[in-house]
Amino acid sequence: MAKQEPPVILLVDDEEMIITSIKSFLAIETDYQLLSYTSPVKALEDLQTKIKGLDLVISDYLMPEMDGISFLAEVKKKFPLVPRILLTGYADKENAIKAINNVGLYQYIEKPWDNDDLRLIIRNGLEKTILLKQLEEKVRESEKVHKELSDVQKEILRVFV
């Protein structure tokens, strides 16, 4: 946990203007490293090859190549713990909510969004990632301790019995 690298966020929206908006906002208010794509297919390609670490992903819902839900489901395969956020327009809200329940998304944000809400959702999502990582570490640690304890126990049994 020593390294303090800025969190990496992946943003996919087929509309360049949405990417510019979110990128600009995050640039002045946060130190997040933003990877942005207008093509979910290209983003998936890079996820398989180039992108090593990822802390959070945001995707638009309606995109010509593939919808946001399918995209996020693919991301889940490679990075199962990374919080997935869906950005939705209006007409697809109902479907999006159904999909959120089916695929297990972290949150959805409706366009037009409020920047403070967006930042809070991202921050909470990242915190969740950190907590999950810490939890994982704790579990690993306690498993290690547990193993040591049982080794000691075996040793004791071997000595006394």
Is 42 a binding residue for another protein by CB under 8 A? The answer is no
The encoded tokens of residue 127 equal 């915190």
Please say which residue, 91 or 152, places its beta carbon nearer to another protein: 91
Binding mask 114-143 for another protein (x = CB under 8 A): xx--x-------------------------
Of 1, 28, 159, 161, the residue at the interface with another protein (CB under 8 A) is 28
Long-range contacts made by residues 3-6, C-beta under 8 angstroms, separation at least 24? 5/53, 6/31, 6/32, 6/33
Instruction: Compute the distance between CA of residue 26 and CA of residue 112 in angstroms, rounded to an integer.
Output: 16
How many positions of this chain bind another protein (CB under 8 A)?
22
Q: Are 110 and 141 in contact (CB under 8 A)?
A: no
Output the smallest distance, CB 135 to another protein, in A.
Answer: 33
Please say which residue, 13 or 55, places its beta carbon nearer to another protein: 13
Is 24 a binding residue for another protein by CB under 8 A? The answer is yes
Q: Are 27 and 74 in contact (CB under 8 A)?
A: no
Is 36 a binding residue for another protein by CB under 8 A? The answer is no
Please say which residue, 80 or 112, places its beta carbon nearer to another protein: 112
Closest residue by Cα to residue 115 from 37, 51, 27, 47: 27
**Segment lying near another protein (by CB under 8 A), choices 36-44, 45-53, 105-113, 133-141:** 105-113
Instruction: Compute the distance between CA of residue 153 and CA of residue 155 in angstroms, rounded to an integer.
Output: 5
**Segment lying near another protein (by CB under 8 A), choices 75-83, 111-119, 137-145, 150-158:** 111-119
Site residues (vs another protein, CB under 8 A): 15, 17-18, 20-22, 24-25, 28-29, 89-94, 111-115, 118
